[in-house]
Chain A
Amino acid sequence: MSKEFVEVLKELFPPFSNTTKENLKKLITKHAENPSFIFESSIPQEIRQGDIVTNIPFQTLYEGDEYLGKRLSGMMISTTCDFEHEKTVLFAPGYDIDVFKECFGEDPDKLRDLRNNAIYDKFYLPAYLGVSELIIDFNGINSFSVNYIKEIISKKTSQRVSSLAQNGYYYLLCKLTVHFLRPEGNEILRSDIIS
């Protein structure tokens, strides 16, 4: 990478200082385990990014031409604006914590890592107002038409059961950033943009 381009990048994307990072980290992590820090106390009228909707049919092309599918609660990953302006939106499936208890035999270390949001592609949400603990799987994202989502909600075959408060929303953005945008390791070799 050329020196000039590095300078352009530095100017465009000045890094956080360590002090800033530490201050913000304290602000977020201090409250992250408190459900009232994460969720709205009531569901807003309009669907928003991070909302949980029940009974969504997720599927994955598994092997050959065979799919695996199941109805699960899902989190809207698309932005709130996308739901208003686009024809399709993205939802990530959510799994009850019991699923992972079955997988891991209630291994306390593995469940702790999930609950601490230490797994890159999983977003843990604590139980709140009758909704049980959920693990959102960013690697299981499916696309749905906006009209379909509106229809299943209006016909009450699905329900919006939780919505993120401002703090929870920022927490989601952090997890999405870490999963999708964290810098690649040095072992990934790419050609320079400017030679």
Chain B
Amino acid sequence: MNGAMLVDIVYSGTYLETAVIGKLLEQGVVTPSAYLPNDFDIVLAASNVLRRNELNDSTASIEIKEENYNIILENGWISFAVSLFPNARYFTEGEQEAFEGYKRKHFKRFKLNL
């Protein structure tokens, strides 16, 4: 695959496609190219090609054979998303209380009789 093949691809997609493309990147089936603005666009564009192939869409400009990738479902996506934020944390109790205090101070109080 090269950038020229990807230029006309209209972007759309789902997270699942990104996961699939991750596998393609790993296997060297897809490589970043200077033809598109950034690497991530390459990933998204390539994912579209995948989808078109899966739908047997004749407009797909390349062919990626099934044996070249494994569909990676939710577990892979979750694992990836969590890895993006290695230092993720909850608000501390003090931070929570400060935020709640802000709301108590600035929000309107009212009652609903349901």
Contact = CB atoms under 8 A, between A and B. Distances in A.
Per DSSP, chain A at the interface is: helix
Interface string B61-103: 0000000001011111111111111011111000100110111
Interface in A22-77: 23-31, 37, 60, 62, 65-70
Report whether over half of chain B's contact residues are helix, strand or loop; otherwise say mixed: helix
Given A174-B84, A183-B78, A119 B89 contact: yes
B57 interface: no
A53 to B, nearest CB: 19
A20 B23 contact: yes
A154 interface: no
Interface stretch (A83-91, A102-110, A142-150, A155-163): A102-110
A30 to B, nearest CB: 7
A67 B80 contact: no
A132 interface: no
Max count, chain A CB within 10 A of own CB: residue among B12, B70, B103? B103
A195 interface: no
Interface of B: 11-13, 15, 18-19, 22-23, 25-26, 38-41, 43-44, 70, 72-85, 87-91, 95, 98-99, 101-104, 106-113
When A and B form their complex, which 10 residue pairs have the shortest distance between CB atoms, in order from nearest? A13-B75, A177-B81, A103-B98, A68-B107, A20-B22, A174-B81, A16-B76, A27-B40, A20-B26, A70-B107
